[in-house]
Amino acid sequence: MFALMTVQQASRFIYQQLKKIYEERESSAMAEMIIEKLTATKKTERIIHKEKELNKEQEEQLHQWLQRLIGHEPVQYVLNEAWFGGLKFYVDKNVLIPRPETEELVDWIISDCKFPIHELTLLDIGCGSGCISVFIKRKLRKAEVWACDVSEAALKVAKKNAEALGAEINFQQIDFLSEEERNKLPSFYIIVSNPPYVPGKDKSHMQPNVLNYEPSTALFVPDDNALVFYEAIAGFGKKKLNPGGAIYVEIHEDLGEKVLELFRSKGYEAFLRKDMQGKDRMVKAIPAT
């Protein structure tokens, strides 16, 4: 059986093990996340009680988690939690891990909202963990929020998060690429999506923690049809976007001009926005007048 470690020793041990395969800053951040989850204490408490020993169950759990991390499994899946907009979401292998750039997309939507909020209806397409729809519902309580996904397992995660975070959302299991299925949805003032947009050819450049663990159906699109979801969203908007409404989508950094061109060819005015890293990342589209 493992010799029991103090909180300080455990933190150092995790860091030293992870540093073999991750950068120092990332290793340090993951070590903090693991110790915080393991001990259910904040950093200040751990500093004060750094000589406190872990119990046997905690140390066994530490080694189990560490083996998964060394195998490149994302720490968010190992701990079943990820933060988005200051809210803690449950995540597992059935959903993408929320990204900071998606927070920027949501901030854009909220800052643009000029409708009477009690009349606002919003649809989140391909909701995954529910981070977009749940966060917006928490910010705009009077809005009517819908969310859809093709994956039953993903919807289970999204519903778990909505319940835990007190967000009332109408979830629907829909294959959005099926025109027949998506046309069953009502109309909305805001349509938002972070759809699959990574061309299959990009797999060779991706990190193993993404490629081997995050759901491929939520990431990849065919090389010869990378805009397939934007095509469907633009078509849906022509039928189901209320007057004065708008579409917001996250995009691949290399496809900004192509997504703009697609929406404009479908009768929209479209606007491109960069993320905090200076990469083309978001498009807003409104019907041309």
Q: Where are the domains of the chain?
A: 7-71, 91-287
State the DSSP H helix or E strand holding residue 83, giving kind and residue range, or none if neither: strand 82-84
Of 84, 97, 175, residue with least CA distance to 132: 84
The first and second tokens of residue 234, run together, are 């633009």
How far is 53 from 222, CA to CA, in rounded Å?
52
The contacts of residue 201 (CB under 8 Å, 6+ apart) are: 223
Query: For residue range 158-175, what is the model confidence (pLDDT) as tens digits?
Result: 999 999 999 999 999 999
| CATH class of domain segment(s) 91-287 | alpha beta
Mean pLDDT computed over every residue of the chain: 91
Looking at residue 1, what is its pLDDT?
A: 45
In the sheet with 280-287, reading across from the earlier edge strand, the strands are: 170-173, 144-149, 121-125, 188-193, 241-250, 280-287, 268-274
CB 285 within 8 A of CB 112: no
State the DSSP H helix or E strand holding residue 274, giving kind and residue range, or none if neither: strand 268-274
Looking at residue 116, what is its pLDDT?
A: 67
CB 144 within 8 A of CB 122: yes
For residue 181, is pLDDT > 70? Answer: yes
The contacts of residue 154 (CB under 8 Å, 6+ apart) are: 94, 95, 127, 128, 129, 215, 218
Residue 284 binned pLDDT confidence (cut-offs 50, 70, 90):
very high
Looking at residue 117, what is its pLDDT?
A: 67
Global pTM?
A: 0.92
DSSP class of residue 3 equals P
Looking at residue 131, what is its pLDDT?
A: 98
How far is 178 from 77, CA to CA, in rounded Å?
30
SS3 state at 35: helix
Looking at residue 263, what is its pLDDT?
A: 98
DSSP class of residue 242 equals E
**177 or 203, higher pLDDT:** 177
Question: What type of residue is 287?
Answer: P
The first and second tokens of residue 187, run together, are 């109309």
Question: What type of residue is 166?
Answer: G
Q: Of all residues in the chain, what percent carry a pLDDT higher than 90?
A: 75
Of 168, 170, 129, 172, residue with least CA distance to 149: 172
How far is 212 from 203, CA to CA, in rounded Å?
10
CB 81 within 8 A of CB 65: no
Looking at residue 221, what is its pLDDT?
A: 78
Which residues is 193 bridged to in the sheet?
Answer: 125, 249
- Biggest distance spanned by C-alpha atoms of the chain: 72
Looking at residue 3, what is its pLDDT?
A: 60
Looking at residue 124, what is its pLDDT?
A: 98
Q: How far is CA 180 from CA 99, 154, 184, 185, 196, in A?
A: 31, 21, 7, 10, 20
Query: For residue range 78-128, what is the model confidence (pLDDT) as tens digits?
Result: 999 999 999 999 999 999 999 999 999 999 999 998 766 668 999 999 999
Query: For residue range 24-54, what is the model confidence (pLDDT) as tens digits?
Result: 999 999 999 999 998 888 877 777 777 888 8
